[in-house]
Amino acid sequence: MTTAVVAALLNYLGVVDLSHCSLDQKSLHLDFVHMISQTAHCIAQGKVGSGFDVSSAVYGSHRYVRFSPNVISSAQETVSTTPLDEVIGEVLKGNWDHERTKFSLPPLMNLILGEPGSGGSSTPSMVGAVKKWQKSDPQKSQETWNKLSEANSALDAQFNLLSRLAADQWDSYKSVIDSCSRFKSEKWIEKFSEASHVEIVKALLGARDIMLRIRCHMRQMGEAAGIPIEPESQTQLLDITMDTEGVLLAGVPGAGGFDAVFAVTLSDSSTNLTKVWSLHNVLALLVREDPRGVSLESDDPRAK
């Protein structure tokens, strides 16, 4: 929402042009939208968070390393006593050292977000609890953090592998994805005998196994910090989700808690999951993975 409002205002006022410009020019304009949006978001929430939600809204799907907090932390302190144009001027001159690398889901995969309707969680308090745990037990917390980071990187690599398999063996890849979308994961491997098909299925199952490791590390972190990063109710829901036909993996997004769940589905199997979720009072939201980021829409994007 922050990014949409900031981008709309800047484009309307002619500060940026998000319609008819070259890729290089658009990149510069998106960078401008990103800096203003991050600043507005951090001032509004009273802290410098990960910034990934704003970054992904601006640039679309990507792998992200956050900027140094001091780039905009001063803006939080001076915004109430200094003219806004001066505050923004200093922000724009800052050293924005965030990193973005290309990332997208492999072909024929869909990202689905669900709202359990069981109440939300306070992200700032949960983040605060994790930081407190890190200070009280630096060795154990660092070990858990490293394992989680390694698993996240492994999942990224597995998605890249699947994308390469799709590019190199499209017919086999499409056949496997379409077939697996109709069955639970435990049945996938027995459906194929050709080496190229088996290779793709093993890559899919590898992604599932890595996601289970990620969930395990997040639960361990939550238990150690005394907060429900993947609470029991979410664990049960995620297990049911991952046992649904055509679901590759599932987890809790962001800082975790009760806010939402996500799933990656294969081909046209999202309808299966929507029905299963509805039986457990989970609303499938009208959002999807988008590699484009912020852009001008001539029609209602929800109708696409």
6-54 confidence digits (pLDDT tens): 999 999 999 998 886 666 778 889 999 999 999 999 888 888 888 889 9
pLDDT for 44 equals: 85
Looking at 46, 73, 102, which one is the last position of a domain? Answer: 102
Contact 56, 23 (CB under 8 A): no
The secondary structure of residue 190, as a DSSP letter, is G
pLDDT for 300 equals: 65
My answer on whether 72 and 205 are in the same domain is no
Please give the tally of structural domains in the chain: 2
My answer on whether 95 and 113 are in the same domain is no
Q: How far is CA 73 from CA 41, 77, 89, 124, in A?
A: 12, 7, 14, 16
My answer on whether 280 and 148 are in the same domain is yes
207-229 confidence digits (pLDDT tens): 999 999 999 999 999 999 999 99
The mean pLDDT value of the chain amounts to 91
Residue 146 belongs to domain spanning: 109-288
Report how many helices (DSSP H) and strands (DSSP E) the chain contains, helices first.
Answer: 11, 6
Task: List the one residue out of 247, 281, 300 whose CA is nearest residue 111.
Answer: 247
Q: Cα(291)–Cα(209) distance, rounded to whole angstroms? A: 25
My answer on whether 132 and 98 are in the same domain is no
pLDDT for 75 equals: 82
131-148 confidence digits (pLDDT tens): 899 999 999 999 999 999
Could you tell me which residue, 47 or 60, shows the higher pLDDT? 60
Tokens for 36?
A: 């203003």
My answer on whether 137 and 221 are in the same domain is yes
My answer on whether 143 and 257 are in the same domain is yes
Concatenated DSSP letters of 290-304: -SS-S---SS-GGG-
Burial status of residue 195 (CB atoms within 10 A of its CB: 0-12, 13-18, 19 or more): exposed
Looking at 72, 102, 132, which one is the last position of a domain? Answer: 102
Looking at 102, 125, 152, which one is the last position of a domain? Answer: 102
pLDDT for 164 equals: 97
My answer on whether 227 and 271 are in the same domain is yes
Answer whether residue 303 is part of any domain: no
Question: From the CB of residue 174, how many other CB atoms can be counted at a distance below 10 Å?
Answer: 15
| Residues 6 or more apart in contact with residue 193 via CB below 8 angstroms | none
Q: How far is CA 91 from CA 7, 201, 283, 303, in A?
A: 17, 48, 39, 37
pLDDT for 112 equals: 95
pLDDT for 31 equals: 92
Residue 303, pLDDT > 70, answer: no
Give the residue-averaged pLDDT of 66-91. 85
Residue 255, pLDDT > 80, answer: no
Instruction: State the angle between helix axes of 270-279 and 232-242 in degrees (0 to 180), rounded to the nearest 10.
Output: 140
Answer whether residue 61 is part of any domain: yes
Could you tell me the pTM of the whole model?
Answer: 0.85
Residue 60, pLDDT > 60, answer: yes
152-178 confidence digits (pLDDT tens): 999 999 999 999 999 999 999 999 999
Residue 119, pLDDT > 70, answer: no
My answer on whether 88 and 139 are in the same domain is no
Residue 120, pLDDT > 90, answer: no
